[in-house]
Structures are given as structure tokens and as C-alpha cells.
């Protein structure tokens, strides 16, 4: 046996976080198609060949796609962080270092979730007001959230 033989790669502790940032949205064919549609629509509009509707539809799809992609990544990161915090909480609780009042924790979580839901509704209203084509934006959000 030689000293210079390759060894098996050890698993990275940051593997879960690396998976959050791989596969960017601009690698999706639908995103690139919407970008090409937007550019073609802008070119046609600038040359007075057509209305800006094609550019608005493509831009709305791209905006929705990016929103869906970001929401998926945010949820994934939130689940990882919540899991780590729960594991830390269980470890501290089993050692007896802290005593928790579960009713106040539940009330605080319920209040926080209601606040987040209200903010999400407001954000949705703002987005639908700024996206020129809600149908294309909704389709983009769906495909962006599905992007793996």
C-alpha cells in the first residue's frame, strides 16, 4: 500500500447548509424562457412593434419565480434552525439547567404565528399590486417553489 492512495472523503458538517444554496433559480429553463420573453417584449415595445404586455408577463413570471424560490429556501432554513434550537432546548431541559413554563411558551408562539400571518397577508397584497400580471406571477411563484 502506498502512502499516496486517496482516502474516502469525510462528510461535511455544512452539507445541510450547502444544499440551501445550490441549484440557483437562473438555472431553470422556465426562468430563462421568461427572461428571453421579457427581453423580446421590451425590444418589440421599444421598436413600436407591440405593446409592453409580453414584457410585463415575462417580468411578472420571473418575479414570482424568485419569490417562490426564496420562500422555499427560507422555509428550509427555518426548519433547520428550529430543529437545532429544539435539540438544544431538549438537551438543556434534560440536564435540569432550566425549568420551562410551557403555557407561556405556547402563548408566545401562537401570538408570533398570528403576527407572521398578518404580515404575510400584507406582503401578498403589496406583491399583487406591483406584479403587472397576477396570473404569470402566480405561475412563477408555483414553479419557483417547486424548483429543486
pLDDT per residue as tens digits for the range 64-117: 888 888 888 888 888 999 899 989 988 888 887 877 787 888 899 899 989 989
Q: Tell me whether residue 11 is in a domain.
A: no
Mean pLDDT calculated for residue range 44-63? 80
Q: What is the pLDDT of residue 80?
A: 92
Q: What is the pLDDT of residue 130?
A: 67
**40: exposed, middle or buried (Cβ count in 10 Å: 0-12, 13-18, 19+):** middle
| Residue among 27, 28, 61, 60 nearest 132 (CA) | 60
Domain with 103 in it: 27-146
Q: Tell me whether residue 15 is in a domain.
A: no
Q: What is the pLDDT of residue 115?
A: 92
Q: Is the pLDDT of residue 132 over 70?
A: no
Q: Tell me whether residue 115 is in a domain.
A: yes
Count of the separate structural domains present in the chain:
1
Mean pLDDT calculated for residue range 33-57? 80
Q: Is the pLDDT of residue 3 over 80?
A: no
Rounded to 10 degrees, what is the CA torsion of 131, 137, 138, 139? 170
Q: Tell me whether residue 22 is in a domain.
A: no
Higher pLDDT: 26 or 132? It is 26
Q: Is the pLDDT of residue 21 over 50?
A: yes
134's CB contacts (< 8 A; 6+ apart) are 60, 128
Q: Tell me whether residue 122 is in a domain.
A: yes
Predicted TM-score (pTM) above 0.85 = no
Q: Tell me whether residue 3 is in a domain.
A: no
Average pLDDT of the chain is 78
Mean pLDDT calculated for residue range 20-29? 72
Amino acid at each position: 500500500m502506498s502512502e499516496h492512495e486517496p482516502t474516502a472523503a469525510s462528510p461535511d458538517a455544512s452539507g445541510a447548509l450547502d444544499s440551501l444554496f445550490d441549484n440557483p433559480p437562473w438555472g431553470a429553463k422556465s426562468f430563462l424562457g421568461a427572461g428571453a420573453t421579457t427581453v423580446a417584449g421590451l425590444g418589440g415595445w421599444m421598436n413600436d412593434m407591440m405593446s409592453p404586455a409580453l414584457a410585463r408577463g415575462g417580468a411578472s413570471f420571473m418575479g414570482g419565480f424568485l419569490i417562490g424560490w426564496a420562500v422555499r429556501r427560507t422555509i428550509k432554513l427555518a426548519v433547520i434552525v428550529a430543529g437545532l434550537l429544539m435539540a438544544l432546548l431538549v438537551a438543556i431541559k434534560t440536564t435540569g439547567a432550566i425549568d420551562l413554563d410551557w403555557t407561556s411558551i405556547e402563548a408566545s408562539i401562537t401570538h408570533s404565528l398570528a403576527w407572521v400571518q398578518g404580515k404575510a397577508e400584507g406582503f401578498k397584497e403589496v406583491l399583487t399590486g406591483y406584479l403587472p400580471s397576477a396570473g404569470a406571477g402566480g405561475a412563477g411563484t408555483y414553479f419557483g417553489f417547486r424548483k429543486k
